[in-house]
Amino acid sequence: MNAINHNSLSNGRAIVYTIATLAIIMVARVNAAEVTQSKVTHDNGRFVVHSSILIRLPASRVREILTNHENLPRINPNIKHASLLTPSHNGDTRMRLESRVCTLFVCVNYQWVQTVTTNSSGDILTYFDPSMSDFREGWVRYRITAEGKNTRLTTQAVLEPDFWFPPVIGSVFIKKKLSAEAFNTASGIESITANKTRVAYAGS
């Protein structure tokens, strides 16, 4: 009987492990959302955001997730709480959100009240109420466009915080955070569906 070559076994396991790892990475890349644009500019305390992402979900599902306030903390980990308020006089949804962000030096808690509506083009529009928010100005527009079985989510936003953050460092940090929001939003939306799929499969 030939003697077992332990080095060959170890090398074989390493090759198998490497192939398996590459396969997992390739699957993750296929399923992951694609950020095609993420741009944030800052001028005199005002942040302007433009982003475009391709989400591997149908447009109807993306709209359903974005318009459910209970999903917001799962989409954006900085949002710690979201609660519905009395609807506006024309029936639009109103909600209060509480958020927390931290740098290496300091953490900041802030909140805002927003009204969410949909225009004739199907865009989801969000308007901040400055009198009840830690923002002097704030609005966000989500445009949801079907691209085959996927969805193009285009976001435009203007935000002017009214809370303290370390000068200079604070504006750079907020720009980086806002720039990362495109990927975080896409990943959060896809993870909600993935989690529900796993639960349904486990219960079937």
- pTM here is 0.75
Instruction: Please state the domain extents for the chain.
Output: 1-31, 34-203
Each residue's pLDDT tens digit, 92-141:
999 999 999 887 778 889 999 999 999 999 999 999 999 999 999 999 99
Longest dimension (CA), the chain: 87
Q: Which residues of the chain have pLDDT under 70?
A: 1-32, 167-170, 195-204
Neighbours of 58 (CB within 10 A): 15
What pLDDT, on a 0 to 100 scale, did the predictor assign at position 40? 92
What pLDDT, on a 0 to 100 scale, did the predictor assign at position 197? 37
What pLDDT, on a 0 to 100 scale, did the predictor assign at position 21? 34
The pair of three-digit structure tokens given for residue 136, joined into one six-digit string: 């002097």
CATH H-level superfamily of 34-203: START domain (3.30.530.20)
What pLDDT, on a 0 to 100 scale, did the predictor assign at position 32? 59
3-state helix, strand, coil in the chain (%, to 5): 40, 40, 25
